[in-house]
Structure 1
Amino acid sequence: MKAVVYRRHGGPEVLALADRDVPDPGPGEVRVRVVVSAVNPTDWKQRAGRGAAAGTEVPESVPNQDGAGVVDAVGPGVTGFAPGDRVWLVLAATHGPATGTAQEYTVLPAAQLVHLPGTAGFDEGAGFGVPGLTAHRALTVAEDGPARLSPGALDGRTVLVSGGAGAVGNATIQLARWAGATVIATVSSDEKATLARAAGAQHVLRYPDPELAARVRDVAPDGVDLVAEVAAGVNAGLHTQVLRPRGTVAAYGDDRGTGTVSLDFRANVWLNARYQFLVLYTVGAGKLRAGAEDITAAMADGALRLGEDRGVPVHRFPLAETAAAHTASEKGATGKVLIDVTAAE
């Protein structure tokens, strides 16, 4: 089978197309024929080494956490999946260096597979893995908010989505609207404002803007219930100006920041503000499973979709051009970078 591999940390140039043996599923495992793989920032950061020196050798590794495809074979003891089932994958590359989705077949524990509803395509299955799970976690961490998402779960709530045209921002908007929230999104350009509105945001505001806090308050006079934050350090001052008492900031990124977040203690303590930092790798299996179930329900309802008409332009690459796909993501391509691995049929 064809697979994209790297054997040392570095830039996209370390990725190479290789021939590997088709793996066999063991007990509790499932072999999936990957139809679509997706690229997220976490994928190229892992390839680059997350601070490790470029050129550091690693076991032969296949990149990309997200993907969707068709069950090809099941190992002993597997129930709930059968050959021919359409599935999407949860954090595929965490199972081992050779289990990423940039290859024609991957073998994973059954627990890392989720049935893909018939109303959703392989693009959605691949495209909303990491972004959708991150968005779900952000929307379910408030002290007095819901632990699960469904229609009506966020009725009466106002959510501020920082970076509303990003992959996580888009998924947060779509999921929040599905659950009944009022959504305010911030963006950096008119083009991105169009995308945030297409995703469903009722209110879209531009930054930088010295009056941004006042504009948020115009929409939410009592303050917002939740901020889904991609730029925690840069926007820390904004949070205390727009949060309602006992409001929550769900921080998953520090874009344009320094890696250190400074908080005004007095302003936050009087708000009883909650900060929830989040990353999927340590969130726990239960939270991942709950998120996967709710995301699948949203897909089934048609509430979570890719495409420019839903605020997510798609950029496609063939498997042999995975390095170019990583480059596109690293350079900040707006929308979703997808890799066509095998034919859908």
Structure 2
Amino acid sequence: MILITGGLGFIGTHTTRALLDLGESCVLVQRRAAGVPGPFANERVFVEQADLTDEAALLDIGTRHKITGIVHLAGSVPWPPGAYEPLEGAEKAVRSLLNVFRAASEWQVARVGLASTIGVYGGVPGEGPLREDVPLPMTAGHPIPAFKKIGELLGDYLAGTMGLDVVHYRIAAIWGPLARTPSPFYATPQLVHAAARGTAPDLSTLHQGAYAGNGIDMCYVKDCGRAIALLQLADRLRHRTYNVASGRPTTHGEVIAAIRKIVPDARVDLPEGRDPSGPPHDVWLDITRLREDTGYEPAYDTERAVADYLGWLRAGNER
């Protein structure tokens, strides 16, 4: 039975589905009270309420369920900005991560998976795909990659000193059903939502301009969930860190072309070329490790992903 923190969230929901499809049962931990959602009714899913900063509440879950593995997708980041005083926020973030390790030790789980981010590669020079063994700068321009780096360092240390099997997932830009929109980092979610609603996309929240030629490693959330599930259940992993991604850059222009195959009159035009004030090249992640150790291959190319997401939104789902 796999315990998933943030199991009812965006990536967590799709990871739960993937684990169920692979024959596992799941315990989903949420800070707020929640029942088993409709899509998981009558399946091997249990929902428990616990704040990860509360060690006793988290450990108590192990008295009701035989936990064999942990997938930690909940924040362990002082978020959202301004929600806490700096010291309080940092303390809560680190304490929640340490409590996950306490639970892993208490329950003697087979493997602990920790969500990291493509953002840890920020500041790495050069072009081409980013591999897990590239040296990372010690600085970070945003609290999410900063605390994910802290999490990776703590995970490496505790894996060695506690004898735990710890795996870090460096997750690319994820999009698809249940995503919170708008995205501040890339325009794809806004473009698909606009096409589904017959409106023009609102790109005002983007941190930089949206151009057809700009791209990023965008992994469809169903592929992401399956990759995490495969990493959790693999008999043997040869590495501690894995990129979870599509393994290629996808441009806004490719997304627009896929949208127009389904919605020819969609109002999703963007300026041609690259953002003149943005980075000179795209960033994407090398997924050789993931492929070799789990057999993972992305099932959703751009066209299939756009069609799936449009179908989901047109069926009446808000996000």
In the superposition, the TM-score normalised over structure 2's length comes to 0.36
**In proportion to residue count, which structure has more strand?**
1
**In proportion to residue count, which structure has more helix?**
2
In the superposition, the TM-score normalised over structure 1's length comes to 0.33
